[in-house]
């Protein structure tokens, strides 16, 4: 900051000095020549003592005037530099101090937005960055708490079974060990989901992109999950597109996304409800809509739906083994394949629709 201060003052003084020098040279060369010519025409003599004395007096007066004007300009320039520096350095110093506090973990720091347009942009950007860091920190803390909570539940179950076996409350029978194995598998599923989430968020997921028949993948997913819908008295149907949909995607990852969407629809749709998987083409994109008549999503929950560990119905999701990060993984996979995953719902009790879009191979080639 001190270097910047001296540079601004030096630049202001340099402008004043250069201006005075240019004026002095101009006055002494061009001005004196014009004055001498006019004087010669007026007096009608050449190289007279009077003409020389008057020319010397003119140059002396010009020099004194320029020195006085230069000094006044330097003083004004110094004052304006100080005022300008205060306006510039004060918000910059505040940003520097708050940046250090944010680096120390105080993410609630903000700076005042000055009236200057340029500095206002810098201050606004700084506040936005601080808010984003605060949100990331909140998500990190929440994620640690959620992971601990998710792992504590199966661990508590395993611990209870072990204590029961040691105390003789539970007999060492296959059913007891089966329950323990179920809890271990639940922990492993959570850990696998966390590992998958870290990979997709870091952009380290391995994709085998190729031309894929979307209808074939959707039909396979529907057939795979149909037994669950029958057990839950749900109606699951597939509405194919009017023409083949060949998309650019990884077939395994695409199936993973659809399994998650249809599986969630089954989980959150009461008995007797219906689930529809509808395929269509929109411009250069293929579209898959998973429409259910389930519990719906409130306007408050909708923007948070794809955040890590967020659940619309926590008790139901936990009882059925959901980790709360399936939708987060699905959206990142869609992004990695050049697509998008979104959700909409009229409200609670009115069902919901999840829409997956992917680039069409055929349409892209034609373009």
The one-digit pLDDT tens for each residue of the chain (367 residues) are 456 666 777 777 777 778 777 777 777 777 767 777 776 666 665 556 666 777 677 777 777 777 787 778 777 777 777 777 777 777 777 777 888 887 777 777 787 777 766 677 888 888 888 888 887 777 777 777 777 777 787 888 888 888 888 888 888 888 888 888 888 888 887 787 777 777 777 777 778 889 999 999 999 999 999 988 888 889 999 999 888 899 989 999 999 999 999 999 998 999 989 999 999 998 889 999 999 999 988 888 888 788 776 666 554 444 444 556 888 888 989 998 999 999 999 988 889 999 999 998 865 444 3
Burial class (CB in 10 A: 0-12, 13-18, 19+), 191: middle
| Residue 314 token pair | 């926590």
pLDDT in tens, 122-173: 888 888 888 888 877 777 777 777 777 777 878 888 888 888 888 888 888 8
- Fold for the domain defined by 142-201: Helix Hairpins (1.10.287)
Place of tokens 């306007």: 299
Q: Report yes or no: 21 and 86 within 8 Å, Cβ to Cβ.
A: no
| Residue 283 token pair | 């411009």
The 10 Å CB-count burial string (b at 16+, else e) for 207-221 is eeeeebebbebbeeb
For 126, other C-beta atoms within 10 Å of its C-beta total 20
- The whole-angstrom separation of Cα 198 and Cα 253 is 16
- The whole-angstrom separation of Cα 85 and Cα 1 is 10
pTM of the model: 0.59
Rg for the chain (alpha carbons), in Å?
38
Place of tokens 């080639």: 365
pLDDT at 46: 56
| Residue 178 token pair | 């089966």
Q: Where are the domains of the chain?
A: 2-106, 142-201, 210-366
- The whole-angstrom separation of Cα 203 and Cα 198 is 9
Architecture of the domain spanning 210-366: 2-Layer Sandwich (3.30)
């Amino acid at each position: 900051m001190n270097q910047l201060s001296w540079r601004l003052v030096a630049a202001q003084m340099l402008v004043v000095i250069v201006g005075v020098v240019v004026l002095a040279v101009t006055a002494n060369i061009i001005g004196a020549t014009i004055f001498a010519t006019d004087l010669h025409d007026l007096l009608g003599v050449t190289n007279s003592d009077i003409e020389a004395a008057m020319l010397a007096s003119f140059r002396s007066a010009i020099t004194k005037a320029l020195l006085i004007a230069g000094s006044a300009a330097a003083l004004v320039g110094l004052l304006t530099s100080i005022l300008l520096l205060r306006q510039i350095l004060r918000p910059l110093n505040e940003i520097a101090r708050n940046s250090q506090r944010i680096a120390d973990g105080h993410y609630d720091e903000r700076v005042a937005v000055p009236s200057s347009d340029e500095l206002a942009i810098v201050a606004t950007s700084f506040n936005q960055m601080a808010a984003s860091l605060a949100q990331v920190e909140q998500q990190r803390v929440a994620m640690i708490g959620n992971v601990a909570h998710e792992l504590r539940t199966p661990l508590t179950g395993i611990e209870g079974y072990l204590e029961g076996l040691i105390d003789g409350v539970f007999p060492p029978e296959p059913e007891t060990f089966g329950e323990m194995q179920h809890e271990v598998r639940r922990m492993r599923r959570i850990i696998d989901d966390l590992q998958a989430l870290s990979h997709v968020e870091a952009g380290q997921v391995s994709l085998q992109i190729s031309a894929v028949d979307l209808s074939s993948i959707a039909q396979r997913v529907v057939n795979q999950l149909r037994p669950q819908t029958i057990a839950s008295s749900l109606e699951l149907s597939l509405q194919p597109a009017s023409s083949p949909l060949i998309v650019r995607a990884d077939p395994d990852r695409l199936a993973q996304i659809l399994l998650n969407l249809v599986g969630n629809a089954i989980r959150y749709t009461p008995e007797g409800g219906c689930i529809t998987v509808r395929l269509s083409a929109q411009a250069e994109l293929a579209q898959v809509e998973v429409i259910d008549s389930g519990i719906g999503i409130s306007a408050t929950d909708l923007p948070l739906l794809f955040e890590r560990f967020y659940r619309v119905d926590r008790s139901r999701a936990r009882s059925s083994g959901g980790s709360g990060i399936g939708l987060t993984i699905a959206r990142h996979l869609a992004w990695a394949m050049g697509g998008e995953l979104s959700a909409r719902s009229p409200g609670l009790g009115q069902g919901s629709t999840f829409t997956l879009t992917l680039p069409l191979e055929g349409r892209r080639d034609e373009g």
